A and B are shown apart, each in its own frame.
Chain A
Amino acid sequence: MKMNNVILKTTTQVVFFIIFLFSIHIFLAGHFAPGGGFVGGLLTASALVLLLLTYDLKTVKNLLPINYMTLTAVGLLLALGTASLSAFFGEAFFMHYFDHFNIPLLGDTELHTAMIFDLGVYFVVVGVTMIIIQSIGGDE
């Protein structure tokens, strides 16, 4: 039976971007407000799950050609690289650095290397969640 779910498809096309932007906001707010890499990654994964629910596995793979195994590996590499960066400078493992920079549009901004570690956590969470959901949901 052919189903015409045009309401769900139109809603998804709007709501997907709202969830994705909100997940990026949560990810960036993690230092001074509730949030961080884990919640942001889960929200991005839930936006992708919404796409999977509305369309099918093959369409989403054509839409976003991401290999989630590679994404998980890149995330782990980012986390490990940030942690071992200070070891190369002769300081303790997991030493983080931060400084204030003057970015043209944002003004005085505090950039922190813990952010790159958080980006690794974000990638790992998105990758692992999508691997689990795709490999369970893709079974016939």
Chain B
Amino acid sequence: MIDVILKIALTLFSLTIAISFYRVAKGPSMPDRIVGLDTIGVNLLSMVAIISILFGTKAYLEVILILGILSFIGTIAFSKFLERGVIIERKSNR
């Protein structure tokens, strides 16, 4: 019973990733693609959680946190590049 529900959830999440990938590939502007990639990251994280329930293992729980951290840092780096043109500044003018 729960296996069927989890597999349905996996299918829906992969559908979400496919729709987000359409936005990444087609998106007219650069921020559209960045938001699409962030959405793909969050949905991938949920898929890892469901797969770890399906396999009955706790070994994948670190993957979820690491994916969240990396997606966060990647999105910040992309948006800073769009906003200022540089990712790491040499010296800020505060």
A residues adjacent to B (C-beta < 8 A): 2-3, 8, 15, 19, 22, 26, 29, 33-35, 39, 43, 46, 49-50, 52-53, 55-59, 133-134, 137-138, 140
CB-nearest residue of chain B to A12: B76
A33 touches B73 (CB 8 A): no
Whether B66 and A43, one on each chain, are in contact in the complex, defined by CB atoms closer than 8 angstroms, is: yes
Q: Is the CB of B70 within 8 A of A138?
A: no
**8 Å CB contact of A138 from B72, B73, B76, B90:** B90
Q: How far is the CB of B3 from chain A (nearest CB, A)?
A: 24
Interface residues of B in 72-94 (CB under 8 A from A): 72-73, 76-77, 80, 83-84, 87-93
Residues of A within 8 Å of B5, CB to CB, are: none
Q: Does B65 contact A (CB under 8 A)?
A: yes
User: When the two chains form their complex, are residues B90 and A43 in contact, meaning their CB atoms are under 8 A apart?
Assistant: no
User: Which residues of chain A have C-beta atoms less than 8 A from B80's C-beta?
Assistant: 53
CB < 8 Å A-B pair total:
54
Across the interface, B62 reaches (CB within 8 A) one of A35, A137, A138, A140, namely A35
Cβ-closest chain A residue relative to B83: A3
Q: Once the chains are docked, how many angstroms separate the CA of A59 from the CA of B89?
A: 10
Whether a CB of chain A sits under 8 angstroms from the CB of B1 is no
Q: Do A138 and B88 touch (CB < 8 A)?
A: yes
5 A-B pairs with the lowest CB-CB distances in the bound complex, closest first: A137-B88, A56-B89, A56-B92, A58-B91, A52-B88
A34 to B48, CA, bound (A): 15
Q: Within the assembled complex, what's the spacing in Å between the Cα atoms of A19 and B72?
A: 11
Q: How far is the CA of A32 from the CA of B6 in the complex (A)?
A: 28
Given contacts A2-B93, A43-B69, A50-B76, are A133 and B84 in contact (CB under 8 A)?
Answer: no
User: Do A59 and B76 touch (CB < 8 A)?
Assistant: no
| Known pairs A2-B93, A33-B59, A59-B92; A19 contacts B69 (CB<8 A) | yes
B52 to chain A: closest CB distance in Å?
A: 12
A46-B69 contact in complex given A3-B84, A26-B62, A53-B80, C-beta closer than 8 Å:
yes
With A2-B93, A53-B77 already in contact, the answer to whether A133 and B69 are too (CB < 8 A) is no
Q: What's the minimum C-beta distance from B47 to chain A, rounded to whole angstroms?
A: 18
